[in-house]
Amino acid sequence: MEVVRIVPRGYCHGVVEAIRAARRVGAERQGEPIAMLGYLVHNEHVTTELAESGVRLVDATSRLEGLESIREGTVIFTAHGVSPAVRAQARARGLHTVDATCTDVIRTHDLVRRLADDGYTIVYVGKRGHPEPEGVLGEAPDRIHLVESVAEVDALHLPPGRLAVTTQTTLSLWDTRAIIARLQERFPAIEVHNEICNATQERQEAAVTAAASCDAVVVVGSARSSNTQRLVQVIQEHAARPAFLVDTASDLRPEWFAGCRRVGVTAGASTPTVITRQVITALEALEPEPALSPVAVTAGPGPSAPGTG
């Protein structure tokens, strides 16, 4: 099988820095209790590796709730960021903190604080249940409104005064275009602050462009990862190609590629490079098979609903 290695793919700079920080604290504080407050990045392979170095996962509905179970030692704030309330509670508990927040997310926190201080009402485009919005909304809970859809924009009742809109960093222009356009229709004076991470947009655009010359595309990553799930979706929506989500090479199914000669491979921003290489090697070893029936467009064996990271 001919395999097209789509670039860019895999780790973004925020993930790289977060993993480096966690590995460093695991090495420096051996023998001490170390916990990461939620998934450092949404990939089980990374989580397992960190657990082997003494960094345990504390996963809960919210960061504040998770913090309740950390009594001593070191707590790592993940790449998604945390609210000021979480930071204050960690200090009150006397915990040593390691901040692995992505610099792009930090910039959004700074923006929201500045806008709130200047008297703006803020609309934030993001995904409920994702840890990044949880942290950002905590910067100005009385002045910020989370929306996920155009319908939610239509239901907004905002006070008079200055308005601004910003976004979760791990969305894309495709995800937010219609929502922001509707906000501008309803509130013509609203200021738009694009905080979308370049890495997210670049990976999606590269995947769609490459998919046009492929028979199918394999996306390597965790079903927990929303940016990985979104890669599958944009390939289906914008390139009209079959796209399959796999966590490891063992998830590949030969019947997916009946009639395929050229398969693209990309990976979510939290997917270890070694896992993607194994998938590429397995695909290259496949012998192209004659087409038996049309290949169904699917997200592969994992859940098809967007994940939480």
Residue 62 burial (C-beta neighbours within 10 Å; 0-12, 13-18, 19+)? middle
First to last CA, the chain: 31
The conformation of residue 254, written as its DSSP 8-state character, comes to G
Evaluate whether 10 touches 271 at the Cβ level (below 8 Å): yes
How big is the chain, counted in residues?
309
Q: Please report, for residues 108, 200, 207, the alpha-carbon distance to residue 194 in angstroms, rounded to integers and kept in the order given.
A: 9, 13, 22
Q: How far apart are CA 139 and CA 113, in angstroms?
A: 6
DSSP-H helix ranges across the chain: 13-28, 44-52, 63-67, 84-92, 103-117, 131-137, 150-154, 173-186, 198-211, 226-234, 273-284
Hey, which residues does 266 pair with through a beta bridge?
219
Nearest alpha carbon to residue 175 among 241, 240, 230: 230
In sequence order, what are the residues at sequence separation of 6 or more whose Cβ sits closer than 8 angstroms to the Cβ of residue 260? Answer: 1, 215, 216, 288, 289, 295
Q: How far apart are CA 139 and CA 160, in angstroms?
A: 21
Q: Which tokens belong to 226?
A: 């929303």
Among the listed residues 44, 132, 195, 255, the single catalytic one is 132
Is residue 148 annotated as a catalytic residue, yes or no?
no
- How are beta strands 163-167 and 121-125 bridged, if at all? parallel
Neighbours of 142 (CB within 10 A): 6
Evaluate whether 281 touches 252 at the Cβ level (below 8 Å): no
DSSP-H helix ranges across 141-225: 150-154, 173-186, 198-211
Residues carrying an active site annotation: 132
